[in-house]
Amino acid sequence: MPWTKKDYPVSMKNLEEHVKDKAIEIANRLVEEGYEDGRAIPIAISQAKQWDEKRGGEISTEITHHLTPEEGEWVLKAVEGQDRFVFDTKEKAMSKVEEMAKKKAMKVMVHDSDGKFQKVY
């Protein structure tokens, strides 16, 4: 069941009203895309806060890439398409994320060394 302005996750209760509304919108979209509630909520809150900080600018609400550990390496891969970059350290991978983000609009979900969601860049 989608969240609404009257029925939303408790972790959103202290957000400013306009940020909460955006977080609800993003969380519902992420759940529609197949994310579990426990992952969608923190991602949505993070993205809504970024949206608020950069209002007037353009922020993608869709995850375009994932940075994940795979067999001792770090892989940056596109959600759609063939983009795939492999790095021996997370630091090198994050440098590539920053470089790519400057050139084009992208939203990267960064995972920790256990593969769990860490943050959105």
pLDDT at position 114, please? 76
- Asked, for residue 105, whether it belongs to a domain, the answer is yes
- Asked, for residue 69, whether it belongs to a domain, the answer is yes
Query: What type of residue is 28?
Result: N
Mark whether 77 and 38 lie in a shared domain.
no
- Asked, for residue 107, whether it belongs to a domain, the answer is yes
Which pTM was predicted? 0.49
Strand, helix or coil for residue 69: strand
pLDDT at position 32, please? 87
Q: Are 92 and 99 in contact (CB under 8 A)?
A: no
**Which structural domain, as residue segments, surrounds residue 34?**
10-53
- Asked, for residue 60, whether it belongs to a domain, the answer is no
pLDDT at position 2, please? 86
Can you give the pLDDT of all 121 residues of the chain as single tens digits?
689 989 999 999 999 888 898 899 899 989 888 899 999 999 999 988 888 877 654 555 577 888 889 999 999 988 887 888 999 999 998 888 888 776 666 777 777 777 777 676 6
- Asked, for residue 1, whether it belongs to a domain, the answer is no
- Asked, for residue 70, whether it belongs to a domain, the answer is yes
Place of tokens 């050139």: 103
Mark whether 72 and 103 lie in a shared domain.
yes
C-alpha span between 118 and 111 (Å, rounded) = 5
C-alpha span between 108 and 84 (Å, rounded) = 13
Tally of structural domains, the chain: 2
